[in-house]
């Protein structure tokens, strides 16, 4: 088990985030990019080398890539050119992952890109995911879906796509907010879980909201989960102190 944090949770310039995460005690960083993703360092000349140099100097890993802006380019987007751009974005990141020493891409479906129940079996949605998954498989990269769907609905998608590259990025805070039973869902998804966020409800520190972390961690142990726990936890008055508190909670309780 390793503990990482989303880079946006650390309020320092990007070139200081790796060292700050290391100084706090984290094992890795999840690199996040928004709608204007081409402005991110990953799309700049020598950007990958720059990121690797920062990570190596700090002695820390890239845990995963999080293209949050993908929600504006999702598989069900009505404009073909926008949908195609979204697929190409995921394919580029799948090719990039091995160069950064990681193998996980968070694929978010929220807001305008939310997966509706009727999308689960829609050929437009499934074909888009299959196209991205084909590239991900070639590079041994996982496309970890995160959405408002239940565990059962996620599994339906995974089964229909039929690719070892497709799984779930599980967020127990989101799931609990949506009324799902997180410990039960984790057990049901099992090996379909590629990676997990750490988040509680109500913007609270981990262990201070409604998530039953004791049961969540028991379920994670039960399925043999031994990958990253990445903090996606809002900071309080002092984001760095919040990050330390949440990190220590995971290390002391898992």
* Distance (Å, whole) CA 174 – CA 194: 16
Q: What is the pTM of this model?
A: 0.97
Assign domain 2-253 one CATH number from 3.40.190.10, 3.20.20.150, 3.40.50.970, 3.30.1280.10: 3.20.20.150
Q: Do the Cβ atoms of 70 and 86 come closer than 8 Å?
A: yes
- What's the confidence (pLDDT) of residue 234? 84
What are the beta bridge partners of residue 145? Answer: 107, 168
* Distance (Å, whole) CA 200 – CA 212: 9
pLDDT tens figures, 158-182: 999 999 999 999 999 999 999 999 9
* Distance (Å, whole) CA 194 – CA 192: 6
- What's the confidence (pLDDT) of residue 173? 97
- Residues in the chain predicted with pLDDT less than 70, given as ranges, are none
* Distance (Å, whole) CA 236 – CA 206: 12
What are the beta bridge partners of residue 216? Answer: none
- What's the confidence (pLDDT) of residue 236? 86
- What's the confidence (pLDDT) of residue 233? 87
Q: Do the Cβ atoms of 187 and 153 come closer than 8 Å?
A: no
């Amino acid at each position: 088990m390793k503990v990482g944090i989303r880079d946006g949770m650390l309020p320092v310039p990007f070139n200081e985030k790796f060292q700050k995460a290391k100084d706090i005690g984290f094992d890795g960083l999840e690199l996040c990019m928004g709608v204007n993703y081409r402005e991110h360092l990953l799309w700049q000349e020598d950007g990958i080398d720059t990121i690797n140099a920062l990570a190596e100097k700090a002695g820390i890993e890239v845990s995963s890539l999080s293209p949050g802006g993908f929600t504006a380019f999702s598989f069900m987007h009505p404009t073909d050119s926008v949908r195609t751009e979204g697929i190409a974005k995921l394919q580029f990141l799948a090719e990039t992952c091995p160069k950064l020493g990681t193998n996980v891409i968070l694929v978010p479906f929220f807001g305008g890109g939310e997966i509706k129940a009727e999308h689960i079996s829609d050929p437009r949605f499934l074909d888009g995911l299959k196209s991205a998954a084909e590239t991900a498989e070639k590079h041994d990269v996982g496309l970890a879906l995160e959405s408002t769907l239940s565990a059962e609905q996620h599994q339906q998608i995974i089964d229909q796509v039929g690719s070892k590259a497709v799984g779930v990025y599980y967020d127990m805070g989101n799931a609990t907010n949506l009324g799902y039973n997180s410990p039960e869902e984790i057990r049901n998804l099992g090996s379909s879980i590629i990676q997990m966020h750490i988040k509680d409800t109500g913007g609270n520190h981990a262990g201070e909201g409604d998530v039953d972390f004791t049961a969540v961690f028991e379920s994670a142990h039960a399925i043999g989960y031994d990958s990253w726990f990445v903090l996606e936890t809002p900071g309080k008055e002092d984001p760095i102190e919040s990050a330390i508190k949440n990190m220590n909670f995971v290390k002391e309780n898992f």
